[in-house]
Amino acid sequence: MRDFRAELEQRQANGLYRWRREVQTPQQPDMVVDGRSVLSFCSNDYLGLANHPDSVAAARDALLETGLGGGASHLICGHHSAHHELEETLARFTGREAALFFSTGYMANMGVISALAGRGDTIFSDRLNHASLIDGCILSRARVRRYPHADVAFLEAMLAETEGHKLVVTDGVFSMDGDVAPLPEIAAACRRHEALLVVDDAHGFGCIGAGGRGSIDHFGLSAEDVPVVIGTLGKAFGTSGAFVAGSQLMMDYLVQKARTYIYTTAMPPAVARASCTSVQLVEQGDDRRAHLARMIARFRREASAMGYTLMPSDTPIQPILVGDAWSALALSQALETRGIWVTAIRPPTVPEGEARLRVTFSAAHTEAHLDRLLRALSECREAIAGTAA
């Protein structure tokens, strides 16, 4: 029998043990965690909409109208008019013909990729893709070829030597590094080699592009350039669930083939109704995005001047590269003693030797919040035992 206890003890010895923290407040900068007040810089609520009064009111009103549960899968009796309204809203937002509403981003990626590729096909995946994309590739049973991060020349060489149906999958904004994929070059390579391009823009939507329309809009790419785009609603949109958008033909195909869509209970209709409101808030959020950009620029300038090693990112994801897991934990804990909550990210989430603190910004943060973070980082320099300097 497998020794589960020994595995857990080994993870603890290596500084890789994971544990959950108990949050007692809504998602917002000032939170109560495990009974203690902290200033959070680790949420994906990039636009500060998770507790927005308009979305909360929309959800409350919808609960009275639609009830709580989804009741059944979309293909039984769970597809409510609120779901349909959200899908039409997301199709317009992304400039696509149609969209499908999934329960989570993980389920969207698993379902879409395993539906669009199978035995005998080949999937090309960026080495730093999110775990849900990686697992979707595995579930598909297709041949999977990984290319070095953002290396389009390497990808194109692999595409050129491969026959048959080809699928290229990439994050738009990479969740642990915060950089943006070279989508124009990837799209061009896919056109030349007749590969279908799927982009997961979970961390791009809301943050970049006109009206927060993400990395695809940021580069001025069309639906022909990127036929399938996936997004989550639990990040910049501030609600819950996920979606895939593309042609009506593609959405019809996914309704028939995406097992994570077919075989799960539909999300509560009230969440869909609140998400419609959140899409409007994202579109109208230019002031929030401008505020974010100013804070990010100041953080990068001042944290770099302290000697911290930052990664090349202009998005709300601002990793501080530390190196080993124990040093990342030490810095995280030193910050928390000063009332700042930033999570240490360790292998296997990131490669060995690249443990980091993943600092994430929200439009709900103020300049005073940033002052506190920078002051705490200045005081914690001695806590780093590794490669940050």
What confidence score (pLDDT) does residue 386 get?
44
Catalytic residues: 175, 203, 235
Cα–Cα distance for residue pair 130/133, rounded to 1 Å: 5
- Shared-domain flag, residues 301 and 211: no
What confidence score (pLDDT) does residue 383 get?
55
Cα–Cα distance for residue pair 169/136, rounded to 1 Å: 10
For the entire predicted model, the pTM comes to 0.93
Cα–Cα distance for residue pair 243/104, rounded to 1 Å: 8
Question: Domain boundary residue among 283, 315, 342?
Answer: 283
- Shared-domain flag, residues 319 and 241: no
Cα–Cα distance for residue pair 358/336, rounded to 1 Å: 14
The answer to whether 203 is a known ligand-binding residue is: yes
Beta strands in the chain (DSSP E): 30-33, 36-40, 98-102, 122-126, 143-147, 166-171, 195-200, 228-232, 242-246, 309-310, 317-323, 340-341, 344-345, 355-360
* Helix count and strand count (H, E) for the chain: 14, 14
Residue with tokens 């005081």: 379
- Shared-domain flag, residues 270 and 302: no
What confidence score (pLDDT) does residue 388 get?
42
The answer to whether 263 is a known ligand-binding residue is: no
Q: Give domain status of residue 188, yes or no.
A: yes
CA distances from 82 to 59, 184, 304, 347 (A): 11, 35, 46, 40
Q: Give domain status of residue 10, yes or no.
A: no
Domain hosting residue 270, numbered range: 53-283
What confidence score (pLDDT) does residue 139 get?
95
- Shared-domain flag, residues 290 and 205: no
Q: Give domain status of residue 11, yes or no.
A: no
> What is the SS3 assignment for 374?
helix
The answer to whether 106 is a known ligand-binding residue is: yes
Question: Do 351 and 21 meet the contact criterion of CB atoms below 8 Å apart?
Answer: no
Task: Give the CATH number for residue 175.
Answer: 3.40.640.10
Question: Do 40 and 29 meet the contact criterion of CB atoms below 8 Å apart?
Answer: yes
pLDDT averaged over consecutive 10-residue blocks of the chain (389 residues)? 91 89 94 95 97 95 93 95 97 98 97 97 97 96 97 98 97 96 98 98 97 97 97 97 98 97 96 97 97 97 95 96 91 95 93 94 97 95 53
What count of other Cβ atoms lies within 10 Å of the Cβ of residue 215? 26
- Shared-domain flag, residues 29 and 73: no
DSSP, res 386: S
CA nearest to 107, candidates 176, 202, 216, 217: 202
Taking every pair of Cα atoms in the chain, the longest distance, rounded to a whole number of angstroms, is: 59
Question: Domain boundary residue among 222, 248, 283?
Answer: 283
Tens-digit pLDDT profile for residues 281-300: 999 999 999 999 999 999 99
Q: Give domain status of residue 182, yes or no.
A: yes
Q: Give domain status of residue 186, yes or no.
A: yes
- Shared-domain flag, residues 35 and 76: no
CA nearest to 185, candidates 161, 145, 150: 150
Cα–Cα distance for residue pair 242/106, rounded to 1 Å: 8
Question: Domain boundary residue among 283, 302, 319?
Answer: 283
Looking at the 3D structure of the chain, how many domains does it have? 2
Question: Do 168 and 197 meet the contact criterion of CB atoms below 8 Å apart?
Answer: yes
Cα–Cα distance for residue pair 296/311, rounded to 1 Å: 12
- Shared-domain flag, residues 257 and 295: no
Strands 98-102 and 36-40: unpaired
Cα–Cα distance for residue pair 57/387, rounded to 1 Å: 47
Backbone φ, ψ for residue 21 (5° rounding) = -110, 145
Question: Do 41 and 373 meet the contact criterion of CB atoms below 8 Å apart?
Answer: yes
The answer to whether 253 is a known ligand-binding residue is: no
The answer to whether 89 is a known ligand-binding residue is: no
Strands 228-232 and 242-246: antiparallel
Tens-digit pLDDT profile for residues 39-57: 999 999 999 999 999 999 9
- Shared-domain flag, residues 174 and 257: yes
